[in-house]
Amino acid sequence: MDPIRRSLATSLLLFCFLLVPVLSAPIRSPFGPEIAFFYRTSVECAWHLILFYVTNFIAHTASVPLTVEIEGPTQYRSLSRGQFPWAALISLFLPFRALGRDILLIAQTRKDSVESALAHGTLLVLARNEEWKPPMDREDQVFIKLPEHYESLPQDSSNLPSAALTLLKDEGYVKIKGHERLVHGEISIPDGYTLAAPKYISKSTIYSTLKSTRKVYIHRPPEYLKILVSLVQMISAAFTLASTLDNQRSRYGYAAYGLSVFPYALMSLANAICCAVVGSYSSVHILRTHILQEAEQRYDALFDGVIGRPTPDPDPIADESVLPDGFTRVGLSLRPVEADQSILVVRKASGKKEFVLKKKENLLTFGYVGQASLPARVTWSCAGVGIGLM
């Protein structure tokens, strides 16, 4: 806390401590008996209204689980820093929407902790970005889209063709920045990579490249404070309903305002069950994939606390078959020739070809395919890379 905020909080706390004895001082009231009585009854009425709204409506919003999201297009927002609590605000005006949200959260909870974290939006993966390039000291295995006339390209060492690497779009992931999430462990992402939140459509493709995660446990304790708040709200709602049946219903019937607390009490019960079953996540976890293993070999990479084990890839370059989406698995590496120029080496089982690596301007572009639509055996590539020839 900075000095300005600390001094302000100290002054406010001191003011509150001094206010109590001042208000308790035995001084004569400047108001007459009638005005004093009106003032006292108004304060009591305002106090009862505040107590009614806080214990029945505000307490309900405080019991809404916020560290998880339902499986869908917006699940990647879970555990975002500075995110506005829209779920709590919406539940204040639409309490039955919170019931549907709680039911979905409970239904999407699995015995597999990793699968539950993926469904609840608390799992991240590593993806390549537009700045990615093959390494100089080794070879990366990548699925790329080769030009149709790739095999017929001449290989004259004195006049090599030029090429560029083009990142293909992936609709199954949302790229995010590391500081936007509370990440478990310590990470240092090298250049050319970024964190990405997988969407629900990519669940099957992720699990097809991982070993069983049933023995992996992600800590998600019950939210005891929210459960306690839910109990307080339900008890308050019970007293409100009891008083409503005595005096309000005989006068207003089913229009009695006390009956408005019933849906909020029901939703608080659902929130308490959800907080006990689903639990809360204090941070997001990063899943170990083939892309992350590739990034770990970069000199400035650090990934501590990641979970999962990807399946091995036996003899990857031997298979030269072109997949239905036009991807081919090749080995990519760079060979420096000048200070500002590199040679891109593309290796297949049939041999190597070299290209002068250029930027993307004025290059032939190729179509893009989402990662989630690729066959299971190649979906470890979180972002495909295409080659465009000048």
For the stretch 173-196, pLDDT in tens is 777 776 777 888 888 888 888 888
pLDDT digits (tens, 9 = 90+) for 127-161: 888 888 888 878 888 878 777 777 777 776 677 77
Q: What is the mean pLDDT of the chain?
A: 74
User: Does the pTM exceed 0.75?
Assistant: no
pLDDT band for position 363 (cuts 50, 70, 90) = very low
pLDDT band for position 227 (cuts 50, 70, 90) = very high
Q: Give the pLDDT score at 174.
A: 76
pLDDT band for position 16 (cuts 50, 70, 90) = low
Residue pair 317/331 in contact by the 8 Å Cβ criterion:
yes
Spell out the residues 6+ positions from residue 155 whose beta carbon is closer than 8 angstroms to its own: 353, 354
Q: Give the pLDDT score at 310.
A: 85
Q: Give the pLDDT score at 272.
A: 92
Chain centroid to Cα 115, Å, comes to 14
Determine the average pLDDT of the residues in 283-305.
88
pLDDT band for position 82 (cuts 50, 70, 90) = low
The answer on pLDDT for 278 being more than 70 is yes
Residue pair 126/285 in contact by the 8 Å Cβ criterion:
no
**Spatial separation of the C-alpha atoms in residues 57 and 289, rounded to whole Å:** 44
**Spatial separation of the C-alpha atoms in residues 374 and 371, rounded to whole Å:** 6
The answer on pLDDT for 1 being more than 60 is no
The Cβ-side half-sphere exposure at 271, using a 13 Å CA radius, reads 35
SS3 274: helix
